Amino acid sequence: MQNRNRLVEQLKSVPADPGVYIYRDSDGRVIYVGKAKSLRIRMRSYFNNGDHSPKTEALIKRIADFEFYVTSTEIEALVLESNLIKKYRPAFNISYRDDKSYPYIAITWQDDYPRVIITREHHRRNTKYYGPYTSVQAVRETFDTLRRIFPFRTCKRSKPGKPTGSPCLNYHIKRCLGPCIRAVSKGEYRAMIEKVEMFLEGNPKPVINQLEAKMNEAAAKLEFEHAARDRDRLEAARLVLQKQKIVSEAGEDFDILGLSVDGAIGCVNLSVVRDGKLIGSKNFILDLLDRGESNGDILSAFIKQSYINSTSIPPQLLLPAEIEDGRLVEELLSSLRGTKVSLKVPQRGNKRELLAMAAANAQYALNMSIVKHSWEKKTSARVLDALAADLGLLNQPKRIECFDISTIYGRNSVGSMVVFKDGHPSKDDYRKFKITYVEGMNDFAMMGEVITRRLEHQKANLDPSFSDRPDLIVVDGGKPQLSAAVSALQAAGSSDIPVFGLAKKEEEIYVPGLSKPIRLDRDSESLKLMQRIRDEAHRFAITYHRRLRGKAMVESTLDKIPGVGDGRKKLLLKQFGSPSAIADASLEELKTVPTLPDIIAERVYRHFHQSGGLN
């Protein structure tokens, strides 16, 4: 009651402006993020006596503190709310499991000879992105189809070709036009990439017509090799067209959202129609926590999380139910698209039938997910029970953390922490550590430093990933690494956390207080889980170490360029984001760096592109 009175008193200072509010629990964790046209009215409604939904009642009981951010408009509040939900993943907000890092197909228009690539980032300037795709397999199938139709280059640098100057195998087998040896003009090459762009935007018919004309022309000239190549490309393009079911004779563009809910789990099926053809369908599994959200609430949360950062917003979304803030969402999506976007709930006709189809697909996917997750839950429980028995633990280790060190002669040393929850990787909770206090070759002391810092982060309660205590700690290594971990736990007053070492060579498990390691059967599920966690920690550490090494190499080579000191290195890194991006930058891009003289930009470009750079 005292806490409630304090919150009510604090609410008196909340303004009536639009904005976003954040509720935290007694441990400081963000448990809910919401937006409001009037912060004062909306936030006070939680503490007024009256009927609340079960979800709201459960939320109110856990609110220990709040904060808020005033915005100029409701649109700004909507965007901020979406970003904060993605950042904190609050327990009382609807979230969908697949909200990770989706693959995109991108065209690098900033290059003289643009590349078509698969990527998971979507923020580079002058690069056009298509997606996101929910399946790596789907994006690779699309990419492979494009490669069969269009002979674009696949070399990774912004400048085409190899350092040797000779063309690669793709040129010799007619899978690349050879821009590296100027076998194709810049205009011709970019015209081909424009056709790739048209194809990715769901309009392959002009490409098919042109390929057919080229094939017939080559056959008429008795150029049968060229005709055969065009025939193969035509077949690949027609295969895509055959997969596209015509659902709108008017040639409209729209997305269809089908919804199915079963207690604490739901599914949205997103079916994509472009130029009147059904070109794709994706399923998104939702965690609803069984707190009584309406279909409108679920759809609203899904649209905000899916479309705000999307590169492809259609002019119309077909929904199975109205959403409360529909006008606001329409306004936001319209501003992002640049033309009007409307949300429709069809009541009859062809579009109503399409909604029924999407709902059926969502139901099928939901049924499969329930079966799959039920099986996975039982399997995980069995494996964790076995691991607890093999290691002598009192309870299942629901949260397992594993630590590894990566270093070469004590340089660019790093540590990694990976987290498995219920037997599965929780990648949002992975963390990297740059070794700060230990110098030289002493990876045992480095292990102690990393675990010490991890426990200090938990006490500081600044990062949600460190707020939960581990049920089990695994270190990559034998006795020395284990001893360092034990010392760190004792110094932090956390010696009650079980800790074990897993050595690679013989896959032996080292236990504190035992002189000899224990060996589990090589086929045991317990050992396989520990190996998987250990290998993931090693992969995560070595990836970070390589990145730092590469960054150090580029930064050290920048020091060799006359006129590039610490200040200009910072300017370049701020503009391009990473050392490798500086090495790949074109001269025109380098000249856009604020306050960087053109003569310095030319020196940097020549250093990487004419003198061999890092090679």
**pLDDT per position as a tens digit, 103-134:** 778 899 988 899 998 887 766 778 888 766 65
Instruction: Tell which CATH classification among 3.40.50.620, 3.20.20.70, 3.30.420.340, 3.60.15.10 matches the domain 399-546.
Output: 3.30.420.340
Q: Which of 530-534, 547-551, 604-608 has the lowest mean pLDDT?
A: 547-551
Domain with CATH 3.30.420.10 in the chain: 254-367
Q: Which of 201-215, 485-499, 585-599 has the lowest mean pLDDT?
A: 201-215
Average pLDDT of every residue of the chain: 83
The phi, psi pair for 162, rounded to 5°, reads -100, 160
Q: Can you name the CATH fold of 559-609?
A: DNA polymerase; domain 1 (1.10.150)
The phi, psi pair for 405, rounded to 5°, reads -120, 140
Q: What percent of the chain has pLDDT over 90?
A: 28
Any bridge partners for residue 119, and if so which?
A: 104
Yes or no: say if 97 and 177 are a contact pair by the CB < 8 Å rule.
Answer: no
Yes or no: say if 214 and 194 are a contact pair by the CB < 8 Å rule.
Answer: no
157-196: b or e for each residue (b if 16 or more CB lie within 10 Å)? bbebbeeeeebbebbeeebbbbbbeeebeeeebbebbebb
Q: Which of 15-19, 284-288, 608-612 has the lowest mean pLDDT?
A: 608-612
DSSP-assigned states of every residue in 49-91:
SS---HHHHHHHHH--EEEEEE-SSHHHHHHHHHHHHHHH--T
Write down the pTM of the prediction. Answer: 0.53
Name the DSSP letter for residue 598. Answer: H
What is the average pLDDT across 318-335? 91
What is the average pLDDT across 327-332? 92
Interacting residues of 105 by C-beta distance below 8 A, sequence separation 6+ = 116, 117, 118, 119, 129, 130, 131, 133, 139, 142, 143, 146, 200
Domain with CATH 3.30.420.340 in the chain: 399-546
Q: What is the pLDDT of residue 216?
A: 85
Q: What is the pLDDT of residue 489?
A: 94
Domain with CATH 1.10.150.20 in the chain: 559-609
DSSP-assigned states of every residue in 233-271:
HHHHHHHHHHT-EE--TT---EEEEEEEEETTEEEEEEE
| 499-545 pLDDT, tens digit each | 999 988 788 999 998 988 999 988 899 999 999 999 999 888 888 76
Domain with CATH 3.40.1440.10 in the chain: 2-93
Q: Can you name the CATH fold of 254-367?
A: Nucleotidyltransferase; domain 5 (3.30.420)
For residue 132, whether the previous peptide bond is cis, meaning omega lies within 30 degrees of 0, is yes
CATH tag, 2-93:
3.40.1440.10
Can you read off the two tokens belonging to residue 99? 């909200």
